[in-house]
Amino acid sequence: MKLKITPLLIISIGFFICGVLMFFGLGGNLGPLSSMMYFFPGGIICLLLYFVFKRAFAYNYRRQVLVETLFLAVFSFGYYRIHERILLHTSPDFQGYLVIVYGVDNKPEIKNHSLFNPDIDILVPDNGILFTSSNRIENLRLVNNSGGRKKILEPGYGISFDWDTLKCNNKEYSLDIIYFAKDWTGWVYNSDSDRANRIFKKDLVCKILSE
């Protein structure tokens, strides 16, 4: 069977080449693992799709190229969009607890207003408390602007993170508790000192909700 160069065939070959390189040490210790989990399966899937389109458009090579290109464009855009991140911007000198309170009436939703940018940028007030009417979200990141440069921190990699709840005015709210400090590695969520600070912050949240 004669192979004709199309976008899917090119991508499939690229996956296999990268997989071989990663398998033989280009990607360090995770190279073989990434080859078996991502590159080789990706190459096989693209190759199978290539043969499906090749059979469907056996007598129209140009249409096959066009359909493959449209398919890849739609897939790439969808993949790009689902990797949405919530970027929380704080003041450069911010340290301590950052609390996100979900399900608050008459507060803005956390949603994306840009078609081509999956990230949602949110400016956190100086008191470190953010209210939203949205339900609990994922993919939170904290943007640290200290030191004159922007650095995106993930939960467990520069910031500590946990879930909590708050009962206030006969209603229960879901909370995300984020702790950021220069020496964040010593933070223990249920330690006595941190628990006292957390309770103080939650009391402040309830006070604001009651106003």
CB 78 within 8 A of CB 54: no
Question: Domain boundary at 36, 62, 82, which?
Answer: 82
76 in any annotated domain: yes
Strands across the sheet with 171-180, in order?
Answer: 120-123, 86-89, 140-144, 151-155, 158-168, 171-180, 96-101, 129-131
Same domain, 115 and 177: yes
- Residue range 38-63, pLDDT digits in tens: 888 999 999 999 999 999 998 899 99
11 in any annotated domain: yes
Question: Domain boundary at 82, 107, 141, which?
Answer: 82
Cα–Cα distance between 180 and 209 in angstroms, integer?
A: 24
Q: Rounded to two decimals, what is the model's pTM?
A: 0.63
Q: Provide the residue range defining the domain that includes 135.
A: 86-210
Could you please report the per-residue DSSP string of 149-195?
S-EEEEETBEEEEEEEEEEETTEEEEEEEEEE-TTGGG--TT-HHHH
188 in any annotated domain: yes
- Residue range 137-172, pLDDT digits in tens: 777 777 766 655 666 776 666 677 788 888 988 889
Per-residue confidence (pLDDT) for residue 10, from 0 to 100: 94
Domain count for the chain: 2
